[in-house]
Amino acid sequence: MTDQIRPQPGILDIALYEGGKSHVAGVANAVKLSSNENPFGASDRAKEAFQRSVHSLHRYPSTDHVSLRTAIAEVHGLDARRIICGAGSDEVINFLCQAYAGPKDEVVYTEHGFLMYRIYALAAGATPVEVPERERTADVDAILAACNRRTKLVFLANPNNPTGTMVSAAEVARLAAGLPAQAILVLDGAYAEYVEGYDGGAALVDARDNVVMTRTFSKVYGLGGLRIGWGYGPRHIIDVLNRVRGPFNLSTAQLDVAEAAVRDQDFVAKCRNENARLRSWLAVALAELGVPSDTSMANFVLARFAGQEEAEACDAFLQEQGLIVRRVAGYKLPHCLRITIGDEASCRRVAHAVAQFKGVR
């Protein structure tokens, strides 16, 4: 880098995001439980839509995403005009930072929140403000105390990744009501579908003009490889976001597959039910081995060990057994391992391997 050619302030403060590990050297057919992917994959209807999309690869996709927005609105009882679609919910989060945060502005998030909140804030030139949590759960009073006249965005993942913990609807409403007038509350609902009867905050979005909800097709819908997400918010905010959104930010395949996926709610219910059953089983099995976890509302458990040394040793042992989980030291949880809920066989393999590990300690 020369003295003359420099990136915008904040860019060099960004640490590169590291995704979940996918392979283990020398181990064939390892089970990947590091990225919170759906072990059942995508629904058959989504797969069929993907196959049909090959016939229109030469055509530009829709610029207004009207078919997908209409499908989402019909399934969730929302106003299609207030929905925006993006390449994963990450892109919608990026739009929000790009449109509403900049130099001298502050973006608030909790200490164990999604790493991309900080990254996108810095990319926009804003100042990221990290707020302590209480026993790995967002603390509304601490968030409100961190807000001031410079606060433009407040991010709250509910349920949160990587902790799996959740804040009640009443507390979220209290947070929205207590924010400064210029601030937007962003409810990240990437794991909302795993919570029975939960709307991800949609009702609060309808009740207020300072709340936006983001959602994704990467988790329960099993479409992480296609990168599709969406957001729901007040008309005045969605109008702004559409002004910075690229006209062809989603391909025809993405749009068609997501529409088929969202209309297959029977598949979603099946995945949610199986996840809840296996999540409960694995949490109990680990706790019996002296590895506790908080009550998770997502598709993973955050296993807590005695310290960083034990967590890393267990991770190394699991890899030797062909099981890939996620270290979360980057989330300030060095003594924990995040374990995605896989199918029944993989959950039992994890429990058996941890038992073996604890037995040799």
pLDDT given for residue 26 in this prediction: 61
200, amino acid identity: G
Q: Give every CB contact of residue 3 below 8 A, 6+ residues apart in sequence.
A: none
The label of the residue with tokens 């039910």 reads: 273
Q: Which residue, among 55, 43, 85, has the nearest Cα to 68 in the 3D structure?
A: 85
With bands split at pLDDT 50, 70 and 90, how would you rate the model's confidence at 20?
low
Mean pLDDT computed over every residue of the chain: 95
With bands split at pLDDT 50, 70 and 90, how would you rate the model's confidence at 105?
very high
What is the per-residue pLDDT across 188-210, written as a single tens digit (0 to 9) for each?
Answer: 999 999 999 999 999 999 999 99
Higher-confidence position of 15 and 209: 209
Q: How far apart are CA 118 and CA 361, in angstroms?
A: 37
pLDDT given for residue 321 in this prediction: 94
Q: Concatenated DSSP letters for 26-92? A: TBSS-EE-SS---TT-S-HHHHHHHHHGGGGTTSPPPSS-HHHHHHHHHHHT--GGGEEEESHHHHH
Cβ-contact 20, 35 below 8 angstroms: yes
Cβ-contact 96, 212 below 8 angstroms: yes
Q: Concatenated DSSP letters for 7-34? A: PPTTGGGPPPP------BTTBSS-EE-S
Q: How far apart are CA 292 and CA 286, in angstroms?
A: 6
Structure tokens at 183: 């601030």
Instruction: Indicate if the pLDDT at residue 2 is higher than 70.
Output: no
Burial 79-89 (b: 16+ CB within 10 A, else e): ebebbbbbbbb
pLDDT given for residue 12 in this prediction: 83
What is the per-residue pLDDT across 136-171, written as a single tens digit (0 to 9) for each?
Answer: 999 999 999 999 999 999 999 999 999 999 999 999
Q: Which residue, among 208, 132, 216, 114, has the nearest Cα to 169 in the 3D structure?
A: 208
pLDDT given for residue 78 in this prediction: 98
Cα maximum dimension of the chain: 60
Cβ-contact 186, 201 below 8 angstroms: no
pLDDT given for residue 6 in this prediction: 82
Q: Give every CB contact of residue 212 below 8 A, 6+ residues apart in sequence.
A: 96, 184, 185, 186, 187, 205, 231, 232, 233, 234, 237
Terminal Cα-to-Cα distance of the chain (whole angstroms):
49
Name the region of 213 (left: φ>0; alpha: ψ -120 to 50; beta: rest): beta
Exposed/middle/buried for 126, CB within 10 Å: 0-12, 13-18, 19+? buried
pLDDT given for residue 318 in this prediction: 97
Instruction: Indicate if the pLDDT at residue 357 is higher than 80.
Output: yes
- Any idea of the CA torsion for 127, 114, 70, 86, to the nearest 10 degrees? 60
Structure tokens at 231: 């957001």
Q: What is the mean pLDDT of residues 120-145?
A: 97
With bands split at pLDDT 50, 70 and 90, how would you rate the model's confidence at 175?
very high
Phi, psi of 104 (to 5 degrees): 75, -5
- At 213, which helix (H) or strand (E)? strand 211-216
Q: Which residue, among 167, 146, 147, 145, has the nearest Cα to 158 in the 3D structure?
A: 167
What is the per-residue pLDDT across 299-314, written as a single tens digit (0 to 9) for each?
Answer: 999 999 999 999 999 9
pLDDT given for residue 95 in this prediction: 98
Q: Looking at 5-14, 35-44, 90-99, which range is the least confident one?
A: 5-14
